[in-house]
Amino acid sequence: MSSNHLKYQKIAAFFSRVYSSRLNPLYHLGDFAIFLFAVASVTGIYIFLFYTINPAHAYDSVQQISANPFNGLMRSMHRYSSDLLVVFVILHLIHSLIIGKYKRLLSWISGVISFLVVVFIGVTGYILVWDQKAKLIGFLTAKFISAVPIFDPAIAGAFLLNNLDYVGGFFKVSLFGHIFFSVLTIIILWIHVLRIENPKIFPPRKLMIYGLLALCVVCVLLPVKSDARAESTFIPYDTTFDWYYFFGYYFMKVLPVWANWVLMLGSGLLLAIIPFMGKKKAVVKPQIDLDKCDACNLCSYDCPYGAIDMLVKNNEIKAILNPDNCVGCGICIASCKEHAITLPGYPVLETLPDAPKHTVAAFSCSYFPQVRMPEGVNAAHYKVPCIGSVNPKDLEKMITGHVCEGVLLMGCEECYFRLGKTWTLDRITHKRPPMLSKKVPLSKVRFITSVQPNVNAEIVAFAQELSNNTAANVHHDTAPLTVRDFLKPNHVIAVLLFTVFFGVLALFSATKLHFYPKNEQLLVLSFKYVSSPTVTTQLQTQEKHMQSPVPMVKSRSPIKLQIVGNSGKTLLVKEYSPRGLRKDIAIFVYEELKVAEPSVNIHITETEAAGKGMQLLNVPLSTKDGVIVTITDGQLKALANN
């Protein structure tokens, strides 16, 4: 996986040239997702103030929000930040997968759950607009759910008919779900980063400013609009489709409902078992010599994975390793000025004055590309698990004891163990203990990151500088630390790049998608049919006054539905009985049929009640909005398109 980490950084380095290594968005995918979640939450609370919680008026209130320039901007920001949240979460997931961090069980599982919850929040958000798209999504959701036999298939039809008696409840559940799950996400995210010490919760301020500016520009250029109002009598043909939230629904267009269930459960299961796949890398863990430990607490602060606790041992507070959390990065070795922490296999450093002399003592991280010291450079080369494991007190000894003229540190642009690079630079530049002594001139230390174009030339140049400076008066050397990294962002290009990226992504937030092909004639039958009783019983009780005057229905007749084209061809023959265990309830029918004939005749006959049934003849079909046939006022009717 170390080579994947390096490849990732090589691609990311392209953006470091614009954003700098510190602000590179590809190194801030998780925290940028949190930032987007925060933007979506704040703008969501704002537009909620102007929203009407009633499906009959919700659409108009959203239209009014859009009509006001500032409120419209807030609405657009709410939508696009939510869309980008999905993109950044998926990128964050891919990043974790590529660099092999999927073994962090708690982070992975809570991450998968947060992703599903985010998608759920988005889908319920779209329902709140109550436009054609909301109708389509409600309809598809109901169709998907009603594949489970205990659910009523008529709910799908109720969405098509915009029957608020039925689907008004769904609207309220969506509103509640949208808000409740947003709050739940905060809790899940807290669990997500629970095991991570010093997690990057929010990205650096400048990166957030770039993001906000770009988002505003995109919102002004591509303001969010609703689809047409959710009307009752036509199939939602002309809807826009948000690929970030509705990707799962697309499969409802191309696959049967059962296949969608297999797909959903299968992909959920696959994501959940990823952490259990492949062998866990054997990790060498550090040992802590408790006699040397003076309980300074530094290793416990510095460990990026919370693997060291300060606990009472033999009446004294000591640093105790929790091996389950430890990933073997060795960063704690550098925290300990007492040298109480050692890692088996860690290179033995030549620090004593009588050690062989070198111009350069070079340290390279195990994730750094394989480097060889160039010919002609007199160097001792130590390979360490993470550059953050190099103890500044050892460097000090090497330089002041003239074991070497200077120290070269070669670490990743994005530290695999998250904090190794930051802690090292802070320790060397006297910002974090244990610090490099101020007596050591910083010109004697150099830091090179893994994606610098010509590492070999850098090493040669550094060795040359050291040789030239040996005779110089180092006491007056106040030069700052030289870090070969991408240090300066270009603000204008950074915002521009974000704007282009966000703008392109925004286009996929409202693509036109004809969920039903326009050139096909669609016939939809959606109704509830109460058939004649076939078995009844008289309720028997001791008390005469409690006896029901009406016989109790035990079962009702099944029905046969027959659809015949005007050419005489039978297009559908199907029998229906009451669903579930009870035989005394109404029968729900939901059918979608693509028909090539100009008109159809529909016959319903009760198979166990002679002469009972309904029919509707000469139902004309067109390629426009589809025809919905339902039962109203006890009669089979084709609804006219608005």
Contact between 192 and ligand HEM (CB under 6 A)? yes
Q: Which of 388, 476, 478, 475 is nearest to 434 (CA)?
A: 388
Taking CB under 6 A as the criterion, the residue among 5, 75, 92, 318 binding ligand HEM is 92
Q: Which is nearer to ligand HEM, 32 or 462 (CB)?
A: 32
Binding partner of residue 511 among ligand HEM, ligand SF4, none, CB under 5 to 8 Å per kind? none
Residues 6+ away with beta carbon under 8 Å from 52:
58, 60, 61
Scan residues 19-38 and list those touching ligand HEM (CB under 6 A). 30-31, 33-34, 37
Scan residues 250-289 and list those touching ligand SF4 (CB under 6 A). 286, 288
Q: Which of 338, 339, 296 is nearest to 317 (CA)?
A: 296
Binding partner of residue 626 among ligand HEM, ligand SF4, none, CB under 5 to 8 Å per kind? none
Contact between 318 and ligand HEM (CB under 6 A)? no
Contact between 122 and ligand HEM (CB under 6 A)? no
Q: Is residue 568 packed enough to be buried (19+ CB in 10 Å), middle (13-18) or exposed (0-12)?
A: exposed
| Count of residues touching ligand HEM (by CB under 6 A) | 26
Binding partner of residue 89 among ligand SF4, ligand HEM, none, CB under 5 to 8 Å per kind? ligand HEM
* Radius of gyration, alpha carbons of the chain: 34
Q: Which of 272, 271, 310, 263 is nearest to 290 (CA)?
A: 310
Contact between 619 and ligand SF4 (CB under 6 A)? no
How far apart are the C-alpha atoms of 289 and 281, rounded to whole Å? 25
Q: Which pair of tokens denotes residue 424?
A: 């090292």
Contact between 101 and ligand HEM (CB under 6 A)? yes
- DSSP string of 276-325? GSSPPPP----EE-TTT-----HHHHH-TT--EEEEEETTEEEEEE-TTT
Least separation, in Å, of the C-beta of 418 and ligand HEM? 5
Taking CB under 6 A as the criterion, the residue among 231, 238, 338, 592 binding ligand SF4 is 338
Q: Which of 52, 50, 118 is nearest to 81 (CA)?
A: 118
Query: Which span (294-302, 359-367, 371-379, 506-514) binds ligand SF4, by CB under 6 A?
Result: 294-302
Contact between 201 and ligand SF4 (CB under 6 A)? no
Taking CB under 6 A as the criterion, the residue among 21, 24, 182, 335 binding ligand SF4 is 335
Q: Which is nearer to ligand SF4, 236 or 388 (CB)?
A: 388
389, 331 contact by CB (below 8 A): yes
Q: Which is nearer to ligand HEM, 195 or 430 (CB)?
A: 195
Binding partner of residue 359 among ligand SF4, ligand HEM, none, CB under 5 to 8 Å per kind? none
Scan residues 301-320 and list those touching ligand SF4 (CB under 6 A). 303, 305, 307-308, 319
How far apart are the C-alpha atoms of 488 and 377, rounded to whole Å? 30
Query: Which span (199-207, 255-263, 277-285, 481-489) binds ligand HEM, by CB under 6 A?
Result: 199-207
Phi, psi of 436 (to 5 degrees): -70, 135
Binding partner of residue 112 among ligand HEM, ligand SF4, none, CB under 5 to 8 Å per kind? ligand HEM
How far apart are the C-alpha atoms of 7 and 4, rounded to whole Å? 5
Binding pattern to ligand SF4, positions 472-501, x when CB under 6 A? ------------------------------
Q: Which is nearer to ligand HEM, 93 or 425 (CB)?
A: 93
How far apart are the C-alpha atoms of 417 and 556, rounded to whole Å? 68
Binding partner of residue 295 among ligand SF4, ligand HEM, none, CB under 5 to 8 Å per kind? ligand SF4
| Count of residues touching ligand SF4 (by CB under 6 A) | 27
Binding partner of residue 156 among ligand SF4, ligand HEM, none, CB under 5 to 8 Å per kind? none
Taking CB under 6 A as the criterion, the residue among 25, 55, 72, 111 binding ligand HEM is 111
CA torsion sign for 452, 454, 459, 464 is negative
Provide the Cα torsion 123, 124, 125, 126; round to 10°.
60
245, 119 contact by CB (below 8 A): yes
Scan residues 68-127 and list those touching ligand SF4 (CB under 6 A). none
Binding partner of residue 335 among ligand HEM, ligand SF4, none, CB under 5 to 8 Å per kind? ligand SF4
Binding partner of residue 192 among ligand HEM, ligand SF4, none, CB under 5 to 8 Å per kind? ligand HEM
Burial 174-191 (b: 16+ CB within 10 A, else e): bbebbeebbebbeebbee
Contact between 558 and ligand SF4 (CB under 6 A)? no
Burial 375-389 (b: 16+ CB within 10 A, else e): eebebbbbebbbbbb
Query: Which span (299-307, 530-538, 589-597, 621-629) binds ligand SF4, by CB under 6 A?
Result: 299-307
* DSSP-assigned beta bridge partners for residue 410: 364, 448
Q: Which pair of tokens denotes residue 177?
A: 């779900």
Taking CB under 6 A as the criterion, the residue among 33, 39, 118, 336 binding ligand SF4 is 336
Least separation, in Å, of the C-beta of 412 and ligand HEM? 12
Phi, psi of 163 (to 5 degrees): -80, 100
How far apart are the C-alpha atoms of 565 and 235, rounded to whole Å? 21
Binding partner of residue 298 among ligand HEM, ligand SF4, none, CB under 5 to 8 Å per kind? ligand SF4
Q: 105-129 vs 243-254: helix axis angle to the nearest 10?
A: 80
Least separation, in Å, of the C-beta of 423 and ligand HEM? 14
Taking CB under 6 A as the criterion, the residue among 33, 160, 298, 602 binding ligand SF4 is 298
Residues 6+ away with beta carbon under 8 Å from 235:
160, 516, 522, 524, 625, 626, 628
211, 498 contact by CB (below 8 A): yes
Binding partner of residue 96 among ligand SF4, ligand HEM, none, CB under 5 to 8 Å per kind? ligand HEM
528, 588 contact by CB (below 8 A): yes
Q: Which of 554, 556, 535, 537 is nearest to 607 (CA)?
A: 556
Contact between 206 and ligand HEM (CB under 6 A)? no
Binding residues for ligand HEM (CB under 6 A): 30-31, 33-34, 37, 89, 92-93, 96, 101, 104, 107-108, 111-112, 114-115, 118, 189, 192-193, 196, 199-201, 418
Binding residues for ligand SF4 (CB under 6 A): 286, 288, 293-299, 303, 305, 307-308, 319, 321, 326-332, 335-336, 338, 340-341
